[in-house]
Chains A and B, each alone.
Chain A
Amino acid sequence: MAIIEMTDIAKSFVVRRRSTGWRRHRREVWAVDGLSLSVEPGEFLGFIGPNGAGKSTTVKMLTGILVPTSGRLRVAGVDPVRDRRRLASRMGVVFGQRTTLWWDLPLQESFELLRQMYRVPTQRFRDNLTRCSDLLDLHQLMPVPVRELSLGQRMRGELTAALLHEPDVLYLDEPTIGLDVVSKLAVREFLAELNRDRGTTILLTTHDLDDIERLCPRIAVVDHGKLIYDGPLVELRARLSGERTMTIEFAGAAPEISGPGIRAARIAASRLQLTLSNEANVPALTAQLVGRGDVVDLAIGEPDIEEVVRRLYVASKP
C-alpha cells in the first residue's frame, strides 16, 4: 500500500491587493492545481520544479500544516490534517530555509526535548543519536546553541532532529541549499544510507540537480501546481538531454553557422549561442567553426534544472 497518496489535490490562496484608490482586488491563486502522486514505502522521490511551482505548499499539506482546498490526501493511511499529531510521530521534516529546532537552546538540549516530546525510549534515542552524530560529525557541536551554528552544521542538526523518533516518512525541503561541498556530500551520503538500510521513505525537494542525480531513482516535476513529469530520472534525461547549448566567442565578427539540428543566435557581434539537438552533426559543426572564424573561447552548457523544467513545461502544453 502506498505510504503517500495524493489524489487530485488542489490548494488556492486568496491574494488581496490594493490597486488604485480604496478598492481591493481579491484574486485566487492556485498554488497546487490537481496534483496526483503515489509514493510506495521505501521510495526515494525527488520532487522538483522552479520557484513558486507549489513544492513547499505540497510538503506543507503532506505534513498537515496546510489544509488542501480540494482532493484526497492520505499519508500512512491517515488524513494529515485530522490526525496531525498522530502522524507527527511517524514523520520527520526538515525545512532548509528555517529551523525546526529551538534557536537559543543548545543542540543537545533540543534533542533531549524532542526525545521527551516523541516519547522515544532512552536506549533507542541514544543509539539513534550516536549513529547520527557519528555519520554527521556532530559530537563537538552538542553544547552549542542552535543560533551559533553555521548553516551546514545546523542542517546536520536538523536532520538528526528529524530522525530521532525513527519516522517512516522524511520530508526534506531543500536540505542542501547553501551548503558547502563537504557538508553537501555528508548529507547526501547520510540520506542514501538511511533510505537503503532503514527503508525510510524520503521525499526530497531541491533545486540541486546533483542531489537528484545522486539520490533519487524517481522524480516528480511540478510547475504551476501541476505534475508535468513523473518517472525515472534516466528517462527524463534521455528525453531532454539532447539539447545542449554552446557559446562561442570569435576574434572578429561571428560567422553564419547552420546545419541540421542547430539553432544559432547572435548574442553579441562576436558571440554566437548555438542550441544543439540530437540530430546535430558535431564533426561537421566543428569543421564549420574552424573554417569560418577564429574561435577564441567556447563553452558548453548542460541544461540546468530550471531549463529542464521549462522545456518540460513547454513540451507538455497542448
Chain B
Amino acid sequence: MVDALRGYALVASAWARAAAQYRVSLSTMIFSTLLITGLDFVEILIVFANTHRLAGFTVAQVAFLYGVAATCLGLADLLIGSIERLGERIRDGSFDAMLVRPIPALALAAADRFSVRRVGKLIQSIAILCWALAALDLGMTLERVGLLVLMLASGTVIFLAVFVVGAAFQFVAPGGRETMNAFTYGGGYLTQFPLAIYGRHLVQLVTFVIPLGFINWYPALQFLRAPDPLHLPAALHYLSPAVAALLVLVALGAWTTGLRRYRSTGS
C-alpha cells in the first residue's frame, strides 16, 4: 500500500513536472476544459428556465447535487482518470512495462499520463458547489460541514472505485473503454439531476447494483433536509462511507482478478 502510494506520487509528479514545461499550452487547456464542462451546467439552467421546480427541487438544490457529483467525479478523474486507457496500454504492449517495475501495476497505470489539465473540470464544479451553498443559504452547522466533507470524500472514493472496476473490465475486453465511460462519465451525468426524476427502477439500480446514488443523492437529502420523493428508508442517507469502503474492496478484487487473467492468458 505504501509502495503503491509512493509509486503513484513519483510517477504523477514526474508527469506534472513534464507538463509544467509548457506553461502556455497548459493554461489554455485548463481554460478550454473549464469552458466545455461549464456547458453541462448551462443545460440545468435551461431546464429551470421552463420550470421552477424539478421533482420538487429548486435550482439551488439541483445545483448543489450537480456540484457535489461533479466535484467527486472531477477529483477522481484528476487522480486516476488515465486508467481508462488501460485497454490501449494492453493492446500496444506498454502495460507489460508496468509489470516489470517494483511498484504495484495499479499505481503505475493510475498515475500514467497524470495531467493537471483535468483540474479545469474540478474548478468549475467547485465554483458551482460554492454558488449553490450560497444560494441555499442554509445554516452551516457543524453537522452540515461534516456531512458535506463526508459526502465529497465518499463520493470521490466511489468514483475512484468505479474507474478501477472499469479498468479491470478492460483486461477481459481491451476495447471496453466506451463501456467504462458509460459508468464513470455517464454516472457523473446521471447524478447531476435529482434521482427522483428518473423513476423508481433506475433509482433501485443506482442504489443496489451500481451504487451511484450514494455519491450525492442520499446524503444530500439529509444535507438539504429534503423529503425523499421515493420514500426509501432514511438509513440510506448515512450509508455512503460504508458503500464507498465496500466498493473499494470490490474494485481491488476486480483488479486482481483481471490482472491474474491477463497474466495467464497473455496479450
A: residues with CB less than 8 A from B are: 11, 13-14, 31, 57, 60, 63-67, 69, 81, 84-86, 88-89, 91, 93, 95, 97-100, 102, 104-106, 109, 112-113, 116-118, 145
B183 within 8 A of A: no
**With A and B bound together, what is the CA distance between A93 and B3 in angstroms?**
21
Q: Check if B14 is an interface residue, CB within 8 A of chain A.
A: yes
A98 and B100: CB pair below 8 A? no
Within 8 Å by CB of A116, from B10, B15, B113, lies: B10
Among B94, B99, B266, residue most surrounded by chain A Cβ atoms (within 10 Å): B266
Query: Cβ of A112: which chain B residues have Cβ within 8 Å of it?
Result: 14
Please state if B17 and A109 are interface contacts (CB–CB under 8 Å): yes
A69 to chain B, nearest CB (A): 8
Q: Which 9 A-B pairs have the closest CB atoms?
A: A100-B97, A88-B102, A65-B99, A113-B14, A98-B93, A67-B264, A85-B102, A67-B263, A93-B100
Residues in A whose Cβ lies below 8 Å from that of B3: 85
* Candidates A89, A97, A99; contact of B102 at CB < 8 Å: A89
A109 touches B14 (CB 8 A): yes
List the A side residues contacting B263 at CB < 8 Å.
Answer: 65-67, 81
CB contacts between A and B, total, < 8 Å: 75
Q: Do residues B102 and A86 form an inter-chain contact, with CB atoms below 8 A?
A: yes
B82 shortest CB reach to chain A, Å? 12
- Given A65-B263, A104-B18, A117-B7: A85 touches B94 (CB 8 Å cut-off): no
Given the complex of chains A and B, what is the CA–CA distance between A25 and B73 in angstroms? Answer: 42
The complex places the Cα of A148 from the Cα of B18 at a distance, in Å, of 14
11 pairs, CB–CB < 8 Å, chain A vs chain B: A65-B100, A88-B100, A95-B97, A99-B97, A105-B15, A106-B18, A113-B10, A113-B11, A113-B14, A117-B103, A145-B18
Which residues of A are found within 8 Å of B92, using beta-carbon distances? 98
Q: If the complex has contacts A105-B14, A109-B17, are A63 and B265 also in contact, measured as CB distance less than 8 A?
A: no
For A93, the chain B residues whose CB sits under 8 A away are 100
> How near does chain B come to A154, taking the closest CB pair, in angstroms?
13
CB distance from B148 to the nearest CB of A (A): 36
Question: Which residue from chain B places its CB closest to the CB of A65 in the assembled complex?
Answer: B99
Please indicate the chain B residues that have their CB under 8 angstroms from the CB of A118 in the complex.
102
Q: Are A84 and B97 in contact (CB under 8 A)?
A: no
Mostly, the B contact residues are helix
Contact B101 A99 (CB under 8 A): no
Interface flags for B72-108 (1: CB within 8 Å of A; 0: not) read 0000000000000000000011101101111110000
Of all chain B residues, the one with the shortest Cβ separation from A116 is B10
CB distance from A66 to the nearest CB of B (A): 6
Contact of A64 among B11, B99, B104, B113 (CB under 8 A): B99
A65 touches B102 (CB 8 A): no
User: A57 to B266, Cβ gap below 8 A?
Assistant: yes
Cβ of A65: which chain B residues have Cβ within 8 Å of it?
Answer: 96, 99-100, 263
Chain B, residues 249-267, CB within 8 Å of chain A (1/0): the string is 0000000000010011110
Q: In the complex, how many angstroms separate the beta carbon of A118 from the nearest chain B beta carbon?
A: 6
Q: Are A60 and B14 closer than 8 Å at their CB atoms? A: no
**CB–CB B97/A85 < 8 A:** no
Residue of B nearest to A64 (CB): B99
Chain A residues with CB under 8 A of B104: 85
Contact A66 B264, beta carbon cutoff 8 Å:
yes
A102 touching B265, Cβ below 8 Å: no
Interface residues of B in 224-267 (CB under 8 A from A): 260, 263-266
Give A64 to B93 CA distance when docked, in angstroms.
Answer: 15
Query: Once the chains are docked, how many angstroms separate the CA of A174 from the CA of B20?
Result: 35
Please, how many angstroms separate the alpha-carbon atoms of A118 and B10 in the complex? 11
Q: How far is A102 from B10 in the complex, measured between Cα atoms in Å?
A: 13
List chain B residues, Cβ under 8 A from A64.
Answer: 99-100
User: Per a CB cutoff under 8 Å, which of B11, B103, B266 touches A85?
Assistant: B103
B residues near A113, Cβ cutoff 8 Å: 10-11, 14
- CA of A210 to CA of B13 in the docked complex: distance in angstroms? 42
* Contact across chains for B103 and A60 when beta carbons are under 8 A apart: no
Given A97-B93, A102-B15, 5 extra CB contacts under 8 A: A60-B96, A85-B101, A98-B92, A98-B96, A117-B7
Asked if A99 meets B94 with Cβ closer than 8 Å, knowing A13-B266, A88-B102, the reply is yes
Looking at the assembled complex, report how far the CB atom of B88 sits from the nearest CB atom of chain A, in whole angstroms. 12
Residues of B within 8 A of A14 (CB): 265
- Can you name the residue of chain B whose Cβ is closest to the Cβ of A112? B14
Task: Report Cα–Cα, A64/B3, bound state, in Å.
Answer: 18
Q: Among B15, B18, B92, B100, which residue has the most Cβ atoms of chain A within 10 A?
A: B100
* B96 A109 Cβ-Cβ under 8 A: no
With A and B bound together, what is the CA distance between A86 and B3 in angstroms? 12
- For the complex, give the distance between the alpha carbons of A81 and B113 in Å: 26
